[in-house]
């Protein structure tokens, strides 16, 4: 049987016409799936029981299921979800209650194939891409958590969880369509950021496809030698190629671009590194988020010392770079950047 959430509205309409139902039934079902987040055919209460039974016989509806929830001392909530085939993924709710900002960090793949040396997910085998509905479910279910815990809905979505979003390109864009379209959740695409380790041709494809969401590059080093050392993908997508792709993206979309930059002690946090990083900020408007390194097992890195980080970020700021130092959230439950690995 086919997963009903893999059908578009036209295909649903064709199905209902073929079985002798009115055209509007397709729109009703589509609204249940993508506006009302129905998790079973039984939820579709404005359909007759015989029609609901028929849908159950013809189609699959496979929502993700909460498997484990962990609460951090800083308010962060990490949720492990079980998929229909038994695979596990993780999502993180990051609350900044004082600013009424609630962000969900969603996964796009089961595991990851990029093998970045500082990332726990990169040590996992990539099993498969998530379906659009599995990404969508993370948002709606974590939104329910935000409402229950804080009484407020999600304000932002970041594709920064497990996996490389641009290697799950079609499914990621379809999930964003369901999240942002009037026929879906009608969220603003400006509240969504997709993060990539840097795949130049896919960044250009984003531009050609006219996406409206924001883009983040996981940069982490401002020269090829260091980036090759920690991110093997840089060997096929070096910085010159990436900058060309980002310039193309900016010129075609005018969407916001961010560099994510994990500060490793005595590796990429010197004044020389800051100078090289500042140079990479001259071609288009860009914001830099400097992220504290979060330790994982058997990785030869330490987080940058406070004084080095202050000098590093200060140099950037003094040279006109828009820079923010982001303190890690959820580290005590392995929910911080680079720590998602389905640990027990």
- Catalytic residue numbers, as ranges: 90, 337
- Count CA within 13 A, CB hemisphere, residue 125: 2
Q: Hey, which residues does 218 pair with through a beta bridge? A: 260
Residue entry with tokens 């603003």: 188
Cβ-Cβ contacts under 8 Å for 322 (sequence gap 6 or more): 285, 286, 287, 288
Cα-to-chain-centroid distance, residue 193:
7
> Are 281 and 244 contacting, i.e. CB atoms less than 8 angstroms apart?
no
Give the pair of three-digit tokens for residue 64: 């993700």
The span from the CA of 104 to the CA of 109, in Å, is 16
Q: Facing residues of 261 across strands?
A: 290
Residue carrying the six token digits 């308010």: 75
Q: Contact, 248 vs 206, CB < 8 A?
A: no
Instruction: Tell me if residue 60 falls in helix, strand or coil.
Output: strand
Q: For the chain, how big is the Rg over CA atoms in Å? A: 21
């Amino acid at each position: 049987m086919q997963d009903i959430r893999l059908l578009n509205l036209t295909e649903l309409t064709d199905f209902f016409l073929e079985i002798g139902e009115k055209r509007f039934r397709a729109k009703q079902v589509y609204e249940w799936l993508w506006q009302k987040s129905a998790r079973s055919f039984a939820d579709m209460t404005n359909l007759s029981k015989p029609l609901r039974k028929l849908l159950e016989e013809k189609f699959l509806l496979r929502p993700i299921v909460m498997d484990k929830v962990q609460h951090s001392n800083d308010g962060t909530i990490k949720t492990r979800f079980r998929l229909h085939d038994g695979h596990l993924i993780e999502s993180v709710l990051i609350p900044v209650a004082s600013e009424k900002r609630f962000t969900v960090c969603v996964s796009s793949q089961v595991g990851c194939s990029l093998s970045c040396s500082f990332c726990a997910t990169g040590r996992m085998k990539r099993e498969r891409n998530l379906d659009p509905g599995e990404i969508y479910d993370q948002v709606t279910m974590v939104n329910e958590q935000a409402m229950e815990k804080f009484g407020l809905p999600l304000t932002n979505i970041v594709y920064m969880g497990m996996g490389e979003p641009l290697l799950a390109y079609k499914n990621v864009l379809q999930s964003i369509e369901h999240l942002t379209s009037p026929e879906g959740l009608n969220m603003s695409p400006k509240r969504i950021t997709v993060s990539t380790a840097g795949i130049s041709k896919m960044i250009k494809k984003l531009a050609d496809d006219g996406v409206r969401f924001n883009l983040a590059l996981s940069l982490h080093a401002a020269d090829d030698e260091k980036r090759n050392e920690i991110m093997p993908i840089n060997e096929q997508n070096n910085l010159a190629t990436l900058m060309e792709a980002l310039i193309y993206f900016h010129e075609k979309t005018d969407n916001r671009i961010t560099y994510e930059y994990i500060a490793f002690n005595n590796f990429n946090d010197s004044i020389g590194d800051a100078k090289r990083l500042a140079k990479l900020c001259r071609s288009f408007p860009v914001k830099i988020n400097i992220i504290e390194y979060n330790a994982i097992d058997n990785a030869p890195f330490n987080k940058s010392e406070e004084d080095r980080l202050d000098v590093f970020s200060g140099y950037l700021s003094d040279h006109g770079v828009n820079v923010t130092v982001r303190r890690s959230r959820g580290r005590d439950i392995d929910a911080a950047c680079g720590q998602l690995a389905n640990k027990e």
